[in-house]
Amino acid sequence: MRYKLFGRTGLRVSELALGTLNFGRRWQHGAHIEDARRMLDEYARKGGNFIDTSDSYQYGESEEYLGELLEGRREEFVLATKFSQWATPDASILVTGNSRKAMVTSLEASLKRLKTDRIDLYWVHYPDEVTPTDEIMRGFEDLIRAGKILYAGLSDFPAWRVAHAATLDDWRGYTPLAGIQVEHSVLRRSMEYEFLPMAQALGLGLTTWSPLGGGVLTGKYRNGEAGRHEAFGGLGFVAEEDTKQTAVINAVLEVANECHLTPSQVAIAWSMTKGVIPIIGPRTMAQLEDNLAAADITLTSAHIDKLD
């Protein structure tokens, strides 16, 4: 596992982040605590140190698992979590969205579940379309100065709002915006036109979710099959619905066959060539081991061209 600096933070994070959406069983689909422990141990053994979770994952159980699993080794990891969605099915509207009240209330609850006194990287999970950007950044700065979080980032915000937020931080002398998180895979590449050059220009770390297209790039779901059983009805799943998608999936399968790799490994290795930090989200040890192997793969320029 190699490491890279995350934006302008000075944090040295592993080139693959461990997403823990599947740590927990409250969505009726995910890993039990002991399976999660084994996966975290294996991720750490391979050099991984960047954990991505959210207060909404498994209705808070993902954070609860991590609170238990990180006891005694908290400082070995960069711990990132998010707020804005619902940590419980009946969550009040006052603890969802991007308001400062939601931010502070959600953070305090996450700190308790995670059994820690601070979050290394705190994300707004998604824009609520009503809270002004300057209010969000002021709230983040207050939490940073209070020592509750070290850095802040924006997930799934439009590029213009990310640029606005980074500019506000610079103008006001706030702690610089640390990074952005967006969807990206060989099937979903729109972020390369704005987010990728923006991250490079503004010194932002860039993490990406769903590098496997929600599973379709594994090669297991073909020809429009969209019945995959997963939490929230296949969140992030990109069904094979047109000839362009079919061509991309076929290219991934061809490269995998030529290189004696799995399609998942090819898809993740390709993502890493774009300078991003893919977030893998395994549910089983077999999936984790398969995904982690991508860190040791160097695709040839010919194979990258074929996938591009």
Residue 115 to residue 61: CA distance in whole angstroms: 13
Average pLDDT over every residue of 205-209: 99
- Which residues, 6+ apart, have CB-to-CB distance to 268 below 8 Å? 16, 211, 212, 278, 280, 291, 294
Asked if pLDDT for residue 264 goes beyond 90, the answer is yes
SS3 51: strand
Task: Give how many domains the chain has, as a whole number.
Answer: 1
Q: What number of residues does the chain have?
A: 308
Residue 109 to residue 116: CA distance in whole angstroms: 11
Q: Which amino acid is at 296?
A: D
Average pLDDT over every residue of 119-125: 99
- Which residues, 6+ apart, have CB-to-CB distance to 123 below 8 Å? 54, 80, 81, 82, 83, 152, 153, 154, 155, 181
To the question of pTM greater than 0.85 for the whole model, the response is: yes
Nearest to 95 by CA among 153, 51, 56, 143: 56
Q: What is the pLDDT of residues 209-238, one digit of tens each?
A: 999 998 889 887 766 555 554 544 455 555
Q: What is the pLDDT of residue 227?
A: 52
Helices assigned H by DSSP within 46-99: 61-69
- Which residues, 6+ apart, have CB-to-CB distance to 138 below 8 Å? 100, 174
* Residues 286 and 42: beta-carbon distance below 8 Å: no
In this structure, what CATH number is given to the domain that contains residue 292? 3.20.20.100
Range of the domain at 228: 3-307
* Farthest CA pair distance, the chain: 53
SS3 279: strand
Q: What is the pLDDT of residues 24-72, one digit of tens each?
A: 999 999 999 999 999 999 999 999 999 999 999 999 999 999 999 999 9
**DSSP-derived pairing of the beta strands 179-183 and 119-124:** unpaired
Q: What is the pLDDT of residue 231?
A: 43
Write out the catalytic residue numbers.
57
Q: What is the pLDDT of residues 102-113, one digit of tens each?
A: 999 999 999 999
CA 184 to the chain's CA centroid: 10
Q: What is the pLDDT of residues 268-297, one digit of tens each?
A: 999 999 999 999 999 999 999 999 999 999
* The pair of three-digit structure tokens given for residue 275, joined into one six-digit string: 């300078």
SS3 3: strand
SS3 240: coil
Neighbours of 204 (CB within 10 A): 24
